[in-house]
Structure 1
Amino acid sequence: MVERMPSRFFVGAEPGKPDVTPEPWFLDPREIARALRARWALVLAPVALLLVAAVAWLALVPPLYAAVTQILIDPRGIQVVKDGVTPSDQASDASLLLVDSQIRVLISDDVLRQVVGRFKLDQDPDFVRSASLLETVKGSLSSLLGASGGPSDDRLTALRTLRDRTAARRLERSFVVELAVTTESRQKSADLAQAIAETYLATVSQAQAQVTRKAGEAVAGRLGELQDDLRTAEDKAQKFRAANNLVGTRGQLVSEQALTQLNQQLGAARARAGELRGRLAQIEAVANGRADLNSVTEIVQSTTIAQLRAQLAQIEAARADTVSNLGPRHPTLRTGELQVQTLRNDINAEIRRIAAATRNDYRSALANEASLAATLESRKKEALSVDRSFVRLRELERQVEASRAVYEAFLVRARELQEQQRLDTSTSRIISPASLPARRLGPPIPAIFAAAVAAGLGIGVALALLAVPAAGRIGSRRRLQQLAGLPVVAALPVRARTRTRGRAGGKSLRADTAYDLAVARLGSRLQRDVAAARPTIVLVTSADDRTGKSELARSLAASAALDGQRVLLVDADPEAMISRDLRVTAKRGVAEALRTQSGLGDALVDGPTGVKILPFDDAALSLGTAAYTGALLTAASSFDTVFVDIGLIGTDIAAERLAQDQRFPALLLTASATRSAVSRLRRALDAIGRDPRVHLVMTDADAEA
């Protein structure tokens, strides 16, 4: 007995048309959750594998600890002396380059080799590991091939290992260098870091002292040569001076001094001659009566003339008294006149004598001037020759001064370098000694497991999402809409059957499951969408979901019959699943009815819940789909709703022809979420086209579809 579906199943049974979403399915969180839930094992497998790998890595890989020390490398140093071996004040960029160069020295083989020897790292298994089987085989092959693969040096191996585990860097905007050493032991890392820093400082100090020592030795070695050069230059200058009679005092040659004196004497002689020439002219003018006696200094200053003039004055005074007393004719006046004339003659004679003496002096002055001029000209010629020799002498003296300056500078520098060897002018120092590292390198263990879980989940999710298109199945309602470009009118869940016996001995289905509820809603929608066409004829087909489409056709027919409709269920599928499942056989075949044109009434069979069934007849379809369709449409006029279960689109020609027949107002194309292939669905859609009569129905959908 078939129970009628309660009216509560039809409440809201006609939802609005579903939206065709153009966005990709992987942008929908529900689609992602559905894909991950369906493939939960694939999602969790990478998580488990990475957790196992993390545990194995923590168990097999020994922990590493990094100890850090900080060194201040001051490129300026201490300026103990004025001129050091290295410049103490440099530009900023040059100082940074110097610090970067010192970083290379800090981790150089010269420093690390001393640390290897100090701690005997060539005997430490942490730095020199025994050769593995692979390395042994590789060494044997290298020997066979003639490669240079001799016995390994443990010290060299330890040096390479220490070099790989040592790192140094300059902190930003500072002269501080950070040194880090990584080993499997906290204490060993701290000891090695401290030892490398101390060894570096000692090496730098020794190198600076060695450079100073080499410079001092080089300077001292040159002192003897410079002293010999100075002595040679002095001897050469002295010999040249003696050979050319270049004798002088107070920085001036004797010849130059004599020339200067002659020039001065010649000037004085010329002045003397000029003076005497003037005095002689004056005296001669007095003697000739052209000048007054008092105008010449020599005459005025002459004692003889002064006496004569005094006598002349007395006589003239006495004569004047005689004239006034005795008269101008007195005989005594004659005697006075003779005395006056005599005195005047004596004065003139004295003037002539003075003139003669002055003339002699003038001639002597002219002779002296001529002699000095001749001597000066001779000395000038000699001076020209001496000047040429003196130029060469000055060049030799400059060479002597240059050699002396270089020698004295080297002598002072050699003494400074000797003192600098005993001084340490470096200001580099350890500002942060190495301490025991607090924790191992790398992330904490919880972070490792968290990263393993996160990475595993990421890989698992990616694999699960990639598996969706790789599987080639529909999967969800959203994907079906996206692939087909058509609305999905219903998503039917997997059917759970509860079977009872009906009156006709067939199987009846209870309409109280989720599947039946979805079918009832689909039937209501079909009645609404194709209400203008009476009777309502619905073709049910699929690309590869044969079971789903046949089950849908049966369920739609049963649901419509429960609503009191007259329903015809036609089995046109070559597999005849409805006919075989319901075990129905007509008294008269469809082919025979078509040949006799007697109608399909005798070919119909009563099914469960009052549904009329037209069983499958292969011979009827062989007569042509046109005749089959005509007879079907004629028989449909006696029913309210007709559901036709046809074959698969893409494999059944008759099914494709029926689907393309526009006299059928609706076509349901089913696709299984778990079984239908995307490629077959696309071929089916290409075969029937994007017809507005086509409605998509997804079967085997989950609860969230």
Structure 2
Amino acid sequence: MTMVENVRNGLLVGASPREGQGERDPWFLDPREILRTMRLRWFAVLVPVLLCLGLAAAWMHLNPPQYAASTQILIDPRGLQVVKDGLTPPDQASDASLLLVDSQLRVLTSDDVLGRVVDRFDLTQDPEFRGRETLIGALKALVARFAGRTESPAEPRLTALRILRDRVGGRRLERSFVLELGVTSEDREKAARLASGIAETYLARDAAIRSETTRRAGEAIEGRLAELREALRQAEDKAQAFRAKRNLVGTRSQLVSEQQLTQLSEQLGAARAKALEAGSRMRQVESVLAGGRFDSANEIVTNPTITALRGQLAGVERLRADAEETLGKRHPSYQAAVVQEKALRGAIEAEIRRIAAASRNDFEAAQASAKILASTLERRKTEALKVGDDFVQLRELERQVEASRAVYEAFLVRARELQEQQRLDTSASRIISVASPPEKRIGPPMPVVVVAALVAGTGLGLVGALGLELLAGRVRSRRRLEGHLGRTGLDALPRAPRKAVTLKADPSARGDGPYEVALARLRHRLAAAEPWVKPLVVLVTAGDDRLGKSGLACSLALSAVADRERVILVDADPKGLLTRDLGAAAPRTLADLLRARAPLSDALVTLPSGLRVLPRPSDLPRDLAGIFAEALLRSDADLVVVDLGLVGGDVVTERLIAEERIPTLLLAVSARRGRVAAVDRALKAIGPSRRPRVVVTEADVRE
């Protein structure tokens, strides 16, 4: 996409955006600037790299390779249900079980278990567990020796235990009852042996503790058996003596008098029920005698004699009815039937009377029996009340006997169970993953350590180099200066050849190198900015690079001479670097020439190349600075290049910089020697009303 930029005196087609078109990132974030800084500050980068490599080598030497072996142990809180009642009840999965497993983890890594492992594997004779002499330890010992304090040597077993404790680690696997134990050592096989040894020692120690606990509990119970046996005997003797003294006869649960009262109560109830039943039967029979119906009394209905008589009476009544209907009432058959009917009814009534008499006798006998039982029960109650208080005391004594007997029997059974449980291992804990020699060492491999040291050293060196660059405040490149000033598109010149910046150089021998091309481009830009100004006066100054400024002025003049332009090079620098290079004096002093308003050509020195040079006068009065500017603008040259002094160096330089009739002002900044602070001071001194064109010299042509 073609872009068109409006400039003061024309149009530039295909130009790129210049100023105020977006902010740039800081220069130290630019990869090219970082590479440039590394090239310039290579020593600052190399020192941290070597230091980190040295630290890595020292670390690998002081820390021999370590290998970690691990084993896994299942801690089952429930245990084995070998007997019905164990010393410790079986636990179910709960938060308390997790706390129990965590407690067993502490036991697994306790000094009790680790100390037995130290003795089992004789770690006091192992060089790895004797403790190595470190630099810090040696220094402490030396200081203590000079201070007159001597410490007794540490016990080898405690030293081995401390080292083993530091190399052992355990944890409970998440959402499980599994403990994972890890041991580190300098030897693969040793790490596996120690891990297995600790696990086996823990399980053996756990079984031994369980057996010892069971044994102590059994001994404690057996020690109480004699006391409980004597207490039971005394309680039984006391209860028996009280029974004999009070003449209390009966079973453990009930006296004989209480048994009799119960039996009499039951018999009295049965007698009264029998009397009631007999009275009911008697009244039913008497109601039949009084004229009631036969079937109203069950006793009469179910009597076989009455049933037979009633059957005969029914037959005789049928005969009488037949005789009355067929023969009449006067017939002997009818009369005989009537006599038989009366006889049968009399027999039935006599049988009913007999049943009534029998019922009355049963009722009276039942009443008499109930009265006798009631009187007997009252007499027994009176006797029972007399022994009630004694029986209460007897029952209390018997309860004491039963309690003593129950405790004694429970202790006796428990003592026998514990004696047998000492020989049983009820633990369900076991090793579920046997430790094996590890294949890889702990930590990163040596190549990784070396690479990490290189990366860390390079990073530290790069940060240090960038920090030194920030502190130095050098310009270094056009891009860095553009980022600092917030202006893009600064002019830049590569490093000039040695013979290209001297007045004695032959312009016709100049080639088309990068420096010459950049000079021609700069000169054409200056001419395009002021196309109708003749002569074009270019002021060249700098903030701190005097040599680069003079070289830029000389190179611009020689480049224009090579293009066959009329050029005047004015040396207005108080140091007179171009005048010393010229080696010739002006035919007329500049002060006399300016006072006489004579042409500027009367004080010029013409070189064989055609370049005309105005040497630095020995003294130029300040009141002639304005006339000097007019003389420059009235010259007959196409291009006038004025080599000023440093900004703020002398009054003539400041007067010419402030001259509004001379619009073109170049501020030379050396990428190698220039400082950003000097550029800021120069721009501040020039002021915002005058905007110089910044030219970066000795820049990198690859930018």
Bin the TM-score by the shorter chain: 0.7 to 0.9
- The letter of the residue matching 1:62 is P
2:138 is the counterpart of 1:136: no
Aligned to 1:158: 160
Q: CA deviation at 1:675?
A: 1.0
Match of 1:229 among 212, 228, 231: 231
SS of the equivalent of 1:587 reads: coil
Q: Deviations over 1:446-494 (max 9, x none)?
A: 2232223222322233223333212210111111011122334322122
SS of the equivalent of 2:196 reads: helix
Alpha-carbon distance change, 127 to 269 in structure 1, aligned in 2, over 3 angstroms: closer
Q: Which is worse superposed, 164-173 or 476-485?
A: 164-173
The 2-side partners of 1:227 and 1:88 are apart by 31
Aligned to 2:623: 623
Aligned to 2:77: 75
Aligned to 1:547: 547
SS of the equivalent of 1:84 reads: coil
The 2-side partners of 1:274 and 1:569 are apart by 164
- The letter of the residue matching 1:406 is V
- Say what the alpha-carbon RMSD is for the aligned residues: 4.3
The 2-side partners of 1:66 and 1:84 are apart by 39
- Aligned positions of 1:580-599 closer than 5 A: 580-599=580-599
Q: CA deviation at 1:205?
A: 1.5
CA contact (8 A) 1:14 1:521 kept: no
Alpha-carbon distance change, 39 to 106 in structure 1, aligned in 2, over 3 angstroms: same
Aligned to 1:665: 663
Q: CA deviation at 1:74?
A: 3.3
The 1-side partners of 2:390 and 2:588 are apart by 156
The 2-side partners of 1:96 and 1:273 are apart by 76
Q: Which is worse superposed, 615-624 or 406-415?
A: 615-624
Alpha-carbon distance change, 665 to 500 in structure 1, aligned in 2, over 3 angstroms: closer
The 2-side partners of 1:499 and 1:645 are apart by 17
The 2-side partners of 1:550 and 1:563 are apart by 20
The 2-side partners of 1:704 and 1:516 are apart by 16
Q: Which is worse superposed, 520-529 or 79-88?
A: 79-88
Aligned to 1:312: none
Alpha-carbon distance change, 459 to 254 in structure 1, aligned in 2, over 3 angstroms: same
Aligned to 1:560: 560
CA contact (8 A) 1:590 1:617 kept: yes
Q: CA deviation at 1:573?
A: 1.5
Aligned to 1:16: 15
The 2-side partners of 1:589 and 1:275 are apart by 175
| Percent identity of equivalent pairs | 54
- Aligned positions of 1:180-579 closer than 5 A: 180-249=182-251, 251-260=253-262, 379-380=380-381, 383-384=384-385, 386-498=387-499, 506-509=504-507, 510-512=509-511, 513-579=513-579
The 1-side partners of 2:367 and 2:441 are apart by 117
The 2-side partners of 1:585 and 1:125 are apart by 90
Q: CA deviation at 1:582?
A: 1.9
- Aligned positions of 1:611-650 closer than 5 A: 611-617=611-617, 619-623=619-623, 625-633=625-633, 635-636=634-635, 638-650=636-648
- The letter of the residue matching 1:531 is P
SS of the equivalent of 1:217 reads: helix
CA contact (8 A) 1:538 1:667 kept: yes
Q: CA deviation at 1:659?
A: 2.5
| Total equivalences in the alignment | 626
Q: Which runs of 5+ in 2 are unaligned?
A: 1-11, 284-289, 292-298, 300-356
Alpha-carbon distance change, 595 to 159 in structure 1, aligned in 2, over 3 angstroms: same
Alpha-carbon distance change, 661 to 602 in structure 1, aligned in 2, over 3 angstroms: same
Aligned to 2:321: none
SS of the equivalent of 1:126 reads: helix
The 1-side partners of 2:117 and 2:279 are apart by 106
Q: Which is worse superposed, 36-45 or 150-159?
A: 36-45
CA contact (8 A) 1:507 1:582 kept: no
Q: Deviations over 1:322-381 (max 9, x none)?
A: xxxxxxxxxxxxxxxxxxxxxxxxxxxxxxxxx9xx99x99x999998897677556545
The 2-side partners of 1:654 and 1:113 are apart by 93
2:104 is the counterpart of 1:102: yes
Alpha-carbon distance change, 134 to 498 in structure 1, aligned in 2, over 3 angstroms: closer
SS of the equivalent of 1:75 reads: coil
CA contact (8 A) 1:18 1:489 kept: no
Q: Which is worse superposed, 641-650 or 474-483?
A: 641-650
SS of the equivalent of 1:86 reads: coil
The 2-side partners of 1:88 and 1:662 are apart by 105
SS of the equivalent of 1:643 reads: strand
SS of the equivalent of 2:475 reads: coil
Aligned to 1:122: 124
The 1-side partners of 2:405 and 2:140 are apart by 69
Alpha-carbon distance change, 418 to 536 in structure 1, aligned in 2, over 3 angstroms: same
Alpha-carbon distance change, 254 to 699 in structure 1, aligned in 2, over 3 angstroms: same
2:684 is the counterpart of 1:686: yes
CA contact (8 A) 2:131 2:160 kept: no
SS of the equivalent of 1:588 reads: coil
- The letter of the residue matching 1:428 is S
Q: Which is worse superposed, 610-619 or 694-703?
A: 610-619
CA contact (8 A) 1:543 1:684 kept: yes
SS of the equivalent of 1:623 reads: helix
Match of 1:34 among 36, 42, 61: 36
Alpha-carbon distance change, 142 to 377 in structure 1, aligned in 2, over 3 angstroms: farther
Match of 1:701 among 685, 699, 702: 699
The 2-side partners of 1:700 and 1:501 are apart by 16
The 2-side partners of 1:24 and 1:604 are apart by 48
The 2-side partners of 1:35 and 1:223 are apart by 94
The 1-side partners of 2:661 and 2:147 are apart by 85
The 2-side partners of 1:187 and 1:498 are apart by 76
Q: CA deviation at 1:130?
A: 6.6
Q: CA deviation at 1:685?
A: 1.9
Aligned to 2:673: 675
Alpha-carbon distance change, 598 to 154 in structure 1, aligned in 2, over 3 angstroms: same
CA contact (8 A) 1:168 1:180 kept: yes
The 2-side partners of 1:382 and 1:650 are apart by 143
CA contact (8 A) 1:656 1:687 kept: no
Q: Deviations over 1:543-571 (max 9, x none)?
A: 10111111111111222232233323222
CA contact (8 A) 1:591 1:623 kept: no
Alpha-carbon distance change, 666 to 228 in structure 1, aligned in 2, over 3 angstroms: farther
Aligned to 2:329: none
Alpha-carbon distance change, 266 to 79 in structure 1, aligned in 2, over 3 angstroms: closer
Q: CA deviation at 1:391?
A: 4.5
The 2-side partners of 1:611 and 1:703 are apart by 28
SS of the equivalent of 2:662 reads: coil
Aligned to 1:43: 45
Q: Deviations over 1:260-294 (max 9, x none)?
A: 4555677789899999999999xxxxxxxx99xxx
Alpha-carbon distance change, 261 to 624 in structure 1, aligned in 2, over 3 angstroms: same
The 2-side partners of 1:153 and 1:516 are apart by 84
CA contact (8 A) 1:488 1:696 kept: no
Alpha-carbon distance change, 370 to 671 in structure 1, aligned in 2, over 3 angstroms: same
The 2-side partners of 1:250 and 1:233 are apart by 14
Alpha-carbon distance change, 237 to 524 in structure 1, aligned in 2, over 3 angstroms: farther
SS of the equivalent of 1:609 reads: coil
The 2-side partners of 1:49 and 1:679 are apart by 33
Alpha-carbon distance change, 419 to 143 in structure 1, aligned in 2, over 3 angstroms: farther
Q: CA deviation at 1:501?
A: 10
Q: Deviations over 1:220-265 (max 9, x none)?
A: 2232333333334434444444455543358433333444455567
